[in-house]
Homo-oligomer: A and B are copies of this chain.
Amino acid sequence: MSDTKPVLDQVDADIDNALERLFSLLRIPSISTDPAYADDCIACADHLVADLNSIGFDASRRKTIGLPMVVAHGGPKPGTGAGPHILFYGHYDVQPPDPLEKWTSGPFEPVVKEGANGKQIVARGSSDDKGQLMTFIEAARAYMAVHGELPIPVTILLEGEEESGSKSVGPFFAENKDELNADVALVCDTGMWDADTPAISTRLRGLVHDEVFITGPSRDLHSGHYGGAAMNPIRVLAKVIASLHDENGRITVPGFYEGVKDLEPEIRAQWDGLGFDEKAFLGDVGLSIPSGEKGRSALELLWAQPTIEVNGINGGYTGVGSKTVIPSLASAKFTFRLVGEQDPAKLLEAFRAHVRALIPADCKVEFSADGGGSPALELPLDSPHLSAAREALKAEWDKDAVLIGMGGSIPIVGDFKRALGMDTLLVGFALEDDAIHSPNEKYNLKSFHKGIRSWVRIIDELAKG
């Protein structure tokens, strides 16, 4: 802690320059979804490589099967210091700015405007994720400016395809496993609870997908000539889907809850204290009754309970009017959201066994050839990295960080776990009104400034080992 204050002072003194550096990054239209901007993406990677090298990192642009990654190494050699080796991840690519006419200033002409919570940086990528990733780089810059070196080994990985499917991540991780290996991953791509309350996303649901194809008769039949005698595969599929939840909304697939843990009392108390307006959350989409297991709050259902969801169903005639057909085939797409220690491969097998048991002897069932998925992230409360981040955020924001969950999945987190064996600490400073992926995306100057300061403190806390 003794070393932290001068670094924080350096951050404060240098904030206008930091903002200018962010602006120069935001001016590069690194839209990864549109091949017309491929050169801009490469220029963006080069820009970051040059900046990181100028601070003192050993940075390079790295070839992938798609757009380049930026990899940089700094700090002491891994294994020589007290603290953990950290891998910081961000992405330099951005969403397309359309619809352009809704922007009040150019999406790639960053400006600072007055907003609800003070000054706001307005540009595509200001929040997602250039503004966020620069909070970490600026923290490292200040640290190295004051102390000459980082206190712990730091690897930085910046991706250029997060908004377009991350297709290079798998092969790149496989080829560079040793180089990317670290003790914990830090990701700055998430949000605060509100403008004054920092948050750490310690739970992220995993994701498994599968598709079920049920064949009844070998061809489509006339429902008059065969109805009553020939089994309709839609009826079988409906029975399968209806069987997945009991009358209390609990999933019935045998073994499905293996690895789902009870919520720790501390977490439950924190969530209960968040003042989450369940009624407004559901009311906003026209609903009022949580669909999951009865007796659990919507937040618990979203953050700490698994789901089986049907994302699509198809069978028979779906055009206009009526057609008297018994179809040969009916199919449905499923995704499961996983929590805790649920095992994706085991769940997939349990689901398929459950489905198979419901298929009449004369019907057939087939499953997606590429069913599978990624496990959940559930950072243990006693993780030293989590403790360090909580200490640091409390010191910076003068308020306990809430340990939130995310109902969705962030594929890269699954990759860190599967390919590199690392847990991930998700700390971000975005706010719900940042309008990411939308016109007039913004990042509060407060998020940027205090975000940088937060990372300085987190690095110092982690260095205590």
Bound CA–CA A408/B318 (angstroms): 21
Contacts A312-B323, A325-B312 given: A285-B221 contact, CB under 8 Å? yes
Q: Enumerate A341-377 residues with CB–CB distance to B below 8 Å.
A: 360-363
Please determine whether B318 and A234 come into contact, CB atoms closer than 8 angstroms.
no
> Chain B: which residue is nearest A293 at the CB level?
B228
Residues on the B chain within 8 Å of A223, using CB? 307, 309, 311, 335, 337
- Output the least CB separation between A351 and chain B (Å): 15
Give the copy number: 2
A267 within 8 A of B: no
A203 within 8 A of B: no
Please determine whether A238 and B229 come into contact, CB atoms closer than 8 angstroms.
no
**Most chain B CB within a 10 A radius of its CB, from A207, A218, A310:** A310
Residues on the B chain within 8 Å of A314, using CB? 313-314, 318
Residues on the B chain within 8 Å of A302, using CB? 225-229
Bound CA–CA A245/B346 (angstroms): 32
Please determine whether B228 and A292 come into contact, CB atoms closer than 8 angstroms.
yes
Please determine whether B225 and A235 come into contact, CB atoms closer than 8 angstroms.
no
Bound CA–CA A337/B225 (angstroms): 10
Which of A78-86, A326-334, A393-401 binds B? A326-334
| Cross-chain contact of A227 among B227, B245, B286, B337 (Cβ < 8 A) | B337
Residues on the B chain within 8 Å of A290, using CB? 228-229
Q: Enumerate A392-413 residues with CB–CB distance to B below 8 Å.
A: 406-409
Please determine whether B228 and A285 come into contact, CB atoms closer than 8 angstroms.
no
Contacts A218-B286, A221-B285 given: A230-B312 contact, CB under 8 Å? no
**Most chain B CB within a 10 A radius of its CB, from A228, A290, A330, A408:** A228
7 additional A-B pairs beyond A238-B238, A311-B326, beta carbons within 8 Å, are: A223-B311, A223-B335, A227-B307, A228-B291, A312-B323, A312-B325, A313-B314
| Nearest 4 interchain pairs by C-beta | A224-B408, A218-B286, A238-B241, A312-B316
